[in-house]
Structure 1
Amino acid sequence: MNAKDIMGISPIVPVIAIDDEKDALPLAKALQAGGVNIMEITLRTEAGLKAIKLISEQMPSINVGAGTVCNEEELLQAKEAGSKFVFSPGISQELIDASLKHNITLIPGVATASEVMLAQNNNIFYCKLFPATLSGGVDILKAFSGPFAKMNFCPTGGVNLNNLNDFLILKNVLCVGGTWFVPKDAIENNEFDKITQLCKEAISSIGID
């Protein structure tokens, strides 16, 4: 899958930290039931790679990838676990080269003009803006649209139900990433119906003032 396809799957991309791999499949089913067919499972927990492997093997209908990928070793581990793509909180030449070497789509994080230039100069035109609200939010994306007209973004970090439309209305934003519709306590308490409802609520709110 290329980055354009990945960022076009859903207007909202769940950023998920899984503490117990047994929650992986119920969570994937809850997201699909809510109209979200993509998962970014971060490598912040020991269960992350196991969760990716479970979903990729047992629910291939959902597009699962890894998040918080920071170096070549983690990128390779993510691919071997079955990730269709990797998200990174930042950008480095090591990661760019590794994604080409191992043939997996990288969507790197950027927060400055220099980082956007590094992406663009390596033929990467689809990036995560992270941390979105702290790095300038809507205003920096508007500013980027002039000198970086070919770039497309998935703002992540500080995005929620109240501001997602402020981002999605921008021409250079294809989707937003967030955690508000996959709350940690709902996962821990097996409240997967709640997650389905939160997904539906978020999607139905898009485009509504």
Structure 2
Amino acid sequence: MIERVLAKRIVPVVVLDDAGSAEPLAEALLAGGLDIMEITFRTPAAEESIRRIAKTFPEILLGAGTLLDEDQVSRARDAGAVFGLAPGLNPKIVTKAREAGLQFSPGVMTPGEVEQALSLGCKLLKFFPAEVAGGTAMLKALAGPYAHTGVKFVPTGGITSALLEAYLRLPIVAAIGGSWMVEKSLVNEGQWSEITRLTREALAAAADAR
């Protein structure tokens, strides 16, 4: 999974109110050149949306986000998710994900949480909430004592297209998680061509940041 994430360096964070939007959204992202996405378990439509995309677009590296309990981990894996994320670090969720065969990235924002995640065998970590937690300055500080461990971060929370380049220029950042190219209003209004355009734009900016 880390190799796939490093290849694109952008993980769109999707909130779907209607599972009927799942397939056209996946098509729009693929048309823009992006074959990875995270669907958050914040709405009742999340599980069915994952199931539909996993069945129709197996080429997409499909993740489930905001996994806050063990039941959600099981449901996400059964629906077809291949990786999971959470805003925080809960050892029980990490263990459950491992048992379910779901690659998991817990959320961290402090040195203590980074060390706990590493002790649990997690090396691809969600840095959340990125901007509020200190942004690129905090990640540079964390890189000092932890970069040699092989840990990589996916900062998420408050990141916009204008901030993308600053984050991706940090060696310790594997990718960024963002929602500007898949904003709820764009999805709910079916603006698939605009989502494709924004995705292409984001990928071009990510390529420039290498």
Q: TM-score range by the shorter chain?
A: over 0.9
Would the aligned equivalents of 1:99 and 1:105 in 2 still touch at CA under 8 Å?
Answer: yes
The answer (yes or no) to whether the contact 1:9–1:37 under 8 Å persists in 2 is no
> Which residue of structure 2 lines up, in the alignment, with residue 23 of structure 1?
21
SS at match of 2:20: helix
Aligned: 1:196 with 2:208 = no
Gaps of 5+ in 1: none
SS in 2 for 1:190: coil
Q: Deviations over 1:5-48 (max 9, x none)?
A: 34224211100000011100000000011111111000100000
Amino acid at match of 2:164: L
| Seq. identity, % | 37
Name 1:45's counterpart in structure 2: 43
Residue of structure 2 equivalent to 1:82: 80
Q: Separation in 2 of the partners of 1:182 and 1:137?
A: 22
Specify the SS of the correspondent of 2:17.
Answer: coil
Q: What are the superposed Cα offsets for residues 34-76 of structure 1, whole Å, 9 maximum, x if unpaired? A: 1111110001000000000000011111111100001211111
Task: Deviation per CA, 1:107-166: give whole Å up to 9, x if none.
Answer: 111111111010111121110101000011101110111111121001100111111111
Aligned to 1:151: 151
SS of match in other structure, 1:145: helix
- 2:112 is aligned to 114
> How many corresponding residue pairs?
206
Q: Distance in 1 between matches of 2:50 and 2:18?
A: 12
Take 1:132 and 1:179, find their aligned partners in 2: how far apart are those partners? 13
Partner AA of 2:201 in structure 1: E
- Read off the aligned partner of 2:52 and give its amino acid letter: L
Greater per-residue helix proportion? 2
1:125: which partner in 2? Answer: 123
Q: Report if the CA contact (8 A) 1:157-1:178 is conserved.
A: yes
CA distance in 2, matches of 1:27, 1:154: 22
1:60 aligns with 2:58: yes
CA distance in 1, matches of 2:28, 2:204: 16
Q: CA RMSD in A?
A: 1.1
* Mean Cα deviation higher: 169-178 or 6-15: 6-15
Structure 2 stretches lacking a partner, 5+ long: none
Q: Of residues 89, 92, 96 in structure 1, which corresponds to 2:90?
A: 92
